[in-house]
Amino acid sequence: MTPSIISDLGIFGGAPAFKEKLYVGRPNIGNRDRLIERINRMLDTRWLSNDGPLVSEFEKRVADYIGVKHCVAMCNATIAMEIAVRALGMSGEVIIPSFTFIATAHALQWQQITPVFCDIEPATHLLDPRRIEELITPRTTGIVGVHLWGRGCDVEAIAAIAERHKLKVLFDAAHAFACSHQGRMIGGFGDAEVFSFHATKFFNTLEGGAVATNDEDLAKRIRLMKNFGFTYWDQVSYLGTNGKMTEISAAMGLTSLESLDEFVTANRTNYEQYLTLLTGTPGVRLLPYDSSEKYNYQYIVLELDENVAGITRDQLVQILWAENVIARRYFYPGCHRMEPYFTDYPDAGLLLPITEKVADRVITLPTGTAVSEDQIATICQIIKIAVSHGEEIQRRLTEHQSALPQHLTSAGTAR
Ligand code: T4K
């Protein structure tokens, strides 16, 4: 039932607006017949992994699509990043934003590299190049910029700093497949870029990722490293690991590529509907997109100003969860407040005021082909009711917090 007054809200005992949970990142599925056809072919040829024909075709298609010379497909973006940082010779300290998914930091730490957290710009949530140089020490070997939400970071400023200090540059482009920056497709910037094709990404290969680069030597090293360092049968010439993409993932990827435009259109339509319905709602701001660039629109990013809205971001999340809208607090509380980083540098937040502020304000909302126009209208209606009665909701929630079921008091936290 769509709530129309406060007491209709699920959090105050009303029936949830949705019977089934609505998730952020419900996978987009392309043409099933094409997928099954590819899987059958794979089974017939009995070639399931290790640079099979589907992975080779997928790598070629992706490289052509983004206009880079080399694409090396991998099992996921986290491993792809670990391999890329090693292949680039990064060590010591590497500067990254804290406002990102934890994998960006873990990929470095797993390689015994210390991630040094840099603040972001408030308007874009992207690495602030003006804060990078003050973090550079003799141990710094690189910068990992994150194209968060699919928006390209200031690659020009980052490149200039890297050149001045002889640093390597890797971009975490996990969110940015099919997006452009300054009219060029993301994938060809820096020394290399890493995409994620995880199930929750708008374009998925079940699990998967890829490194894109125009550097031939680097691509060669990465190819060796993702296959144990084998250069020939029985010959290992490099330290390597197992980062290979499977044929079934490539089958999904090739099939998803055929529906890419459809996925982007669905996301864009959803974004425009959210924008139309939420514009003018007090304290609510949707992160805008620049009309001169290409985007995949896979994240609907809402920033809530609690001083205007009258309720906190976490209270809004509780309200949405009670309606079965599983909105997410990506990327709260920032990597610097997660382990092992928090124990190592408990005061890191002092240098990250914008990160801390943004991490307390952001919610991402359901989108993708699994979400309908009616569902988005209802989600917006819930947000509007919550925000327009901020003070009363605040009062009731504070009074009744102890009476709420545990899954709602921990909304946004429980998995
Ligand atoms: N860098 C950045 C900036 C990233 O955002 C990510 C990943 C990476 C690097 C690393 O990429 P990968 O190594 O994963 O390729 C999800 C994803 O697992 C993660 O890939 C993604 N970013 C991150 C932003 O979101 P969680 O913690 O939200 O949980 P997860 O995967 O359990 O899914 C969330 C919800 O989606 C579930 O509650 C239900 C729904 N769901 C999920 C799956 C897997 C489905 O409906 N169907 C599914 O198959 O991390």
Percentage of the chain surpassing pLDDT 90? 90
Name the residue at shortest CA distance from atom 3 of ligand 1.
101
With a 6 Å cutoff on the Cβ, whether 198 touches ligand 1 is: yes
CA dihedral 194, 198, 203, 205 (to 10 degrees): 100
With a 6 Å cutoff on the Cβ, whether 78 touches ligand 1 is: yes
pLDDT digits (tens, 9 = 90+) for 48-102: 999 999 999 999 999 999 999 999 999 999 999 999 999 999 999 999 999 999 9
Between the CA of 4 and the centroid of ligand 1 the distance, in Å, is: 33
pLDDT at residue 178, rounded to an integer:
98
- Mean pLDDT calculated for residue range 128-136: 98
pLDDT at residue 400, rounded to an integer:
73
pLDDT digits (tens, 9 = 90+) for 241-253: 999 999 999 999 9
Closest CA relative to residue 167, chosen from 146, 204, 136, 196: 136
Q: How many CB atoms lie within 10 A of CB 326?
A: 19
Rounded to 5 degrees, what are φ and ψ at 294?
-95, 140
pLDDT at residue 408, rounded to an integer:
65
pLDDT at residue 6, rounded to an integer:
84
The two three-digit tokens of residue 24, written as one number = 């952020």
Name the residue at shortest CA distance from atom 24 of ligand 1.
101
Task: Tell me the whole-structure pTM to 2 decimals.
Answer: 0.96
Looking from the CA of residue 81, the nearest atom of ligand 1 is: 9
Between the CA of 364 and the centroid of ligand 1 the distance, in Å, is: 13
pLDDT digits (tens, 9 = 90+) for 5-27: 788 899 999 999 999 999 999 99
DSSP state of 30: -
Of residues 268 and 6, the one with the higher pLDDT is: 268
* Helix segments in 229-287, DSSP class H: 247-258, 260-278
94/17 Cα distance (integer angstroms): 45
pLDDT digits (tens, 9 = 90+) for 297-344: 999 999 999 999 999 999 999 999 999 999 999 999 999 999 999 999
pLDDT at residue 414, rounded to an integer:
58
Contacts with 45 (C-beta within 8 Å, 6 or more apart), sequence order? 52, 53
Task: Assess whether pLDDT exceeds 70 at residue 407.
Answer: no
With a 6 Å cutoff on the Cβ, whether 196 touches ligand 1 is: yes
Report the residue among 198, 296, 320, 362 best suited for mutation to probe ligand 1: largest number of ligand atoms under 8 A from its CB: 198
The two three-digit tokens of residue 382, written as one number = 């819930």
Q: What is the DSSP string of 183-203?
A: TEETTSSSSEEEEE--TTSSS
Percentage of the chain surpassing pLDDT 70? 96
- 83 and 226 Cβ atoms separated by less than 8 Å: yes
With a 6 Å cutoff on the Cβ, whether 252 touches ligand 1 is: no
Task: Assess whether pLDDT exceeds 70 at residue 151.
Answer: yes
With a 6 Å cutoff on the Cβ, whether 366 touches ligand 1 is: no
With a 6 Å cutoff on the Cβ, whether 101 touches ligand 1 is: yes
Give strand pairing partners of 230. Answer: 236
Task: Assess whether pLDDT exceeds 60 at residue 121.
Answer: yes
Mean pLDDT score of the chain, rounded to an integer?
Answer: 95
Report the residue among 21, 74, 101 best suited for mutation to probe ligand 1: largest number of ligand atoms under 8 A from its CB: 101
Task: Assess whether pLDDT exceeds 70 at residue 168.
Answer: yes
Between the CA of 105 and the centroid of ligand 1 the distance, in Å, is: 15
Task: Assess whether pLDDT exceeds 80 at residue 367.
Answer: yes
Report the residue among 85, 104, 120, 200 best suited for mutation to probe ligand 1: largest number of ligand atoms under 8 A from its CB: 200
Name the residue at shortest CA distance from atom 16 of ligand 1.
200
pLDDT at residue 412, rounded to an integer:
64
